[in-house]
Chain A
Amino acid sequence: KQEVTQIPAALSVPEGENLVLNCSFTDSAIYNLQWFRQDPGKGLTSLLLIQSSQREQTSGRLNASLDKSSGRSTLYIAASQPGDSATYLCAPDSTDKLIFGTGTRLQVFP
């Protein structure tokens, strides 16, 4: 059974910092891994999708890496801004379903 853990659980930083969010999963037989952002009480916004054959994916200030063999993915956020404040969720896709991590709650203050 896939289990997904995210570290840290919460992070509070001043704006401008470069951030690293970690995701680890127990079953490496995945199709892909998605990173999502969720604002309080809202739906999920897809940030990045990394295919199992890829090592990394970039979108703007976001960069996600995937090391499938070791069961790890990392989301890098460059030059953080207050608008980045949200909960970030990783979700590997295996056996036709997404299994979500516990999330990292990020607060970026001015």
Chain B
Amino acid sequence: DTEVTQTPKHLVMGMTNKKSLKCEQHMGHRAMYWYKQKAKKPPELMFVYSYEKLSINESVPSRFSPECPNSSLLNLHLHALQPEDSALYLCASSAQLADNEQFFGPGTRLTVL
């Protein structure tokens, strides 16, 4: 299994809602990543987990809260988002943190009303 899956595919939420994005991989990878991609822009790194511990936080606002409950699963909890947070959220994984090929999921298209 060489696939990274993400759910849901699409999410529409109001600014007062709480929602979560889910990412899963069964390749035995020990590094997992969240990226944000705005329209016609390249992906930008948000968070990196290595062996279920947060390794990198790219100064992301606290309304985004990542969680890595086990080595196969990565969540991104969303609360009190702003319309400018609307974007494609991409999850990726790699065998280890550095110097390894990253594999991406299909993304979750988030719209904040």
Question: Which residues of chain B come closer than 8 Å to A25, judged between CB atoms?
Answer: none
Using C-beta atoms within 8 Å of the partner chain, give the interface range for chain A: 20 to 34
Q: Is A108 an interface residue (CB 8 A)?
A: no
How far does the Cβ of A40 sit from chain B's closest Cβ, in whole Å? Answer: 10
A41 touches B104 (CB 8 A): no
Partner of B55, one of A32, A49, A96: A96
A98 touches B102 (CB 8 A): yes
How far does the Cβ of A96 sit from chain B's closest Cβ, in whole Å? Answer: 5
A41 and B45 in contact (CB under 8 A), knowing A49-B101, A96-B97?
Answer: no
Q: Is A70 an interface residue (CB 8 A)?
A: no
Segment from B14-22, B62-70, B77-85, B105-113 that makes contact with A: B105-113
A44 and B97 in contact (CB under 8 A), knowing A34-B102, A102-B42?
Answer: no
Question: Which residues of chain B come closer than 8 Å to A44, judged between CB atoms?
Answer: 43, 90, 92, 104
B56 touches A42 (CB 8 A): no
Q: Interface digits, A86-110 against B, CB 8 Å rule (1 contact, 0 not)?
A: 0001000100111011110000000
Q: Is A76 an interface residue (CB 8 A)?
A: no
Dominant SS at the B interface? Answer: strand
B90 touches A32 (CB 8 A): no
Q: Is A83 an interface residue (CB 8 A)?
A: no
Bound: A64/B109 CA distance, A: 31
B101 touches A41 (CB 8 A): no
How far does the Cβ of B36 sit from chain A's closest Cβ, in whole Å? Answer: 12
A residues at B contact (CB < 8 Å): 31-32, 34, 36, 41-46, 49, 51, 89, 93, 96-98, 100-103
B residues at A contact (CB < 8 Å): 4, 6, 42-45, 48, 55-56, 88, 90, 92, 97-99, 101-107, 109
- Interface CB pairs A-B, < 8 A, 17: A31-B99, A32-B101, A41-B88, A41-B107, A41-B109, A43-B107, A44-B43, A46-B101, A89-B43, A96-B98, A97-B45, A100-B42, A100-B43, A100-B44, A101-B42, A102-B42, A103-B42
